């Protein structure tokens, strides 16, 4: 079968109706999901021989044109890549223009530092037309997925933030897919499911607020650190694949506690280490300042200039102090 004829998983060589059903049930209902799977996991999930799994994956990759690219192609892709505005020019500048697609952006900081407010704002802003800092095109509105682990999502905030840009609040809310994750397994199952949902809808932003809370609650203490980090790494890997395969932005939050007992080094430490670790992405530390002011700093991002940005949290969302 030639490349062009493979449009869905049933077009793949060796995938009959029965195998197709097994694949769909196991969360591999799209070519993209199969293309980024390993033969081992696909074989186990769908109960097919390893060699069949290898053949299916290869065909899916060819159909999707997953191949070597030249550095020049990469450069052009990056230069034309659009970014999502945060609502604050200061913060956008710090981030080199805004929140990027294809990578994970982590916001970490203590309670009240603005992580959840930024998530709400981005779920609105992604829907703006490209010339206004969103990812919508004239014929396709960009949508968001909001995975809430702490129950702190407020539609009222979305409403106010949408009004700020003159958008229809109900329409904006209709384009945000909200789900409450009840535990870490559920949280990971949701991301698996996104490999099916994302290609059907034009989802350009996936938020996980917070990415760590369930993991911390379920794996408390030092003795559980290793299994917790292992599972969290799997979750981050899932999210990184999602971002890459569908050219979307993934934004995660991570609460860190102020540690006044630490006298040397950084007094705010991510509990159990920094989540993103060496995974690709941008890490942004948030600190509280006076009143509604917040300070953002980008950590370990060699491609971004060092520095800090001051923004404010207002009734209408994330803005600049000078607005």
The dihedral through the CA atoms of 209, 215, 221, 226 has a sign that is: negative
- In this structure, what are the phi and psi dihedrals at residue 259, rounded to the nearest 5 degrees? -115, 85
| ∠ CA 140-141-142, rounded to 5° | 115
* Residue from 52, 105, 116, 238 binding Mg ion (CB under 5 A): 116
Q: At closest approach, how far in Å is the CB of 171 from ligand GTP?
A: 21
Maximum alpha-carbon separation in the chain: 65
Choose from ligand GTP, Mg ion, none: what does 113 bind? Cβ within 5-8 Å by kind.
ligand GTP
Complex with Mg ion: residue 115 or 228, whichever CB lies closer? 115
HSE (CB half, 13 Å, CA atoms) of 63?
A: 25
Instruction: Identify each DSSP E strand in 1-151 by its residue range.
Output: 83-84, 99-100, 104-109, 143-148
Q: Token pair 């309670």 is at which residue?
A: 111
Q: At closest approach, how far in Å is the CB of 154 from ligand GTP?
A: 7
Complex with ligand GTP: residue 34 or 161, whichever CB lies closer? 161
The dihedral through the CA atoms of 268, 273, 275, 277 has a sign that is: positive
Tell me the residue nearest to Mg ion as measured from the CB. 116
Complex with ligand GTP: residue 23 or 158, whichever CB lies closer? 158
Complex with ligand GTP: residue 112 or 220, whichever CB lies closer? 112
Binding track over 144-163 against Mg ion, x by CB under 5 A: --------x-----------
Q: At closest approach, how far in Å is the CB of 181 from ligand GTP?
A: 15
Q: Is 207 helix (H, G, I), strand (E, B) or coil?
A: strand
- Residues at the site binding ligand GTP, with contacts judged by CB under 6 A: 109, 111-117, 152, 157, 255, 292, 313-315
């Amino acid at each position: 079968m030639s490349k062009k004829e493979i449009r869905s998983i049933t077009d793949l060589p060796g995938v009959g109706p029965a195998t197709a059903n097994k694949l769909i049930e196991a969360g591999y209902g799209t070519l993209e999901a199969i293309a980024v799977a390993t033969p081992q996991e696909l074989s186990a999930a769908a109960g097919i021989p390893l060699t069949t799994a290898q053949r299916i994956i290869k065909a899916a990759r060819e159909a999707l044109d997953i191949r070597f690219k030249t550095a020049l192609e990469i450069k052009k892709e990056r230069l034309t890549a659009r970014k999502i505005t945060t609502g604050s020019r200061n913060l956008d500048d710090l981030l080199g223009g805004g929140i990027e697609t294809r990578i994970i952006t982590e916001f970490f900081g203590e309670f009240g530092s603005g992580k959840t407010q930024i998530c709400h704002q981005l779920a609105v802003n992604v829907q703006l037309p490209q010339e206004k800092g969103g990812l919508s095109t004239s014929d396709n509105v960009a949508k968001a997925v909001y995975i809430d682990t702490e129950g702190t999502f407020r539609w009222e905030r979305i409403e106010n933030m949408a009004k700020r840009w003159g958008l229809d609040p109900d329409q904006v809310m209709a384009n945000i897919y909200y789900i409450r994750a009840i535990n870490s397994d559920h949280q990971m199952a949701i991301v698996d499911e996104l490999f099916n949902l994302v290609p059907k809808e034009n989802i350009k932003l996936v938020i996980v607020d917070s990415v760590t809370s369930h993991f911390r609650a379920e794996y408390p203490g030092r003795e559980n650190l290793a299994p917790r980090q292992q599972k969290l790494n799997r979750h981050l890997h899932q999210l990184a694949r999602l971002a890459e395969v569908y050219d979307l932005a993934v934004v995660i939050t991570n609460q860190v506690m102020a540690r006044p007992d630490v006298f040397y080094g950084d007094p705010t430490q991510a509990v159990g280490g920094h989540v993103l670790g060496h995974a690709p992405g941008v890490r942004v530390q948030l600190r509280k300042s006076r009143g509604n002011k917040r300070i953002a700093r980008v950590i370990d991002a060699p491609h971004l200039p060092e520095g800090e940005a001051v923004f404010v949290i207002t009734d209408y969302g994330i803005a600049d102090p000078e607005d």
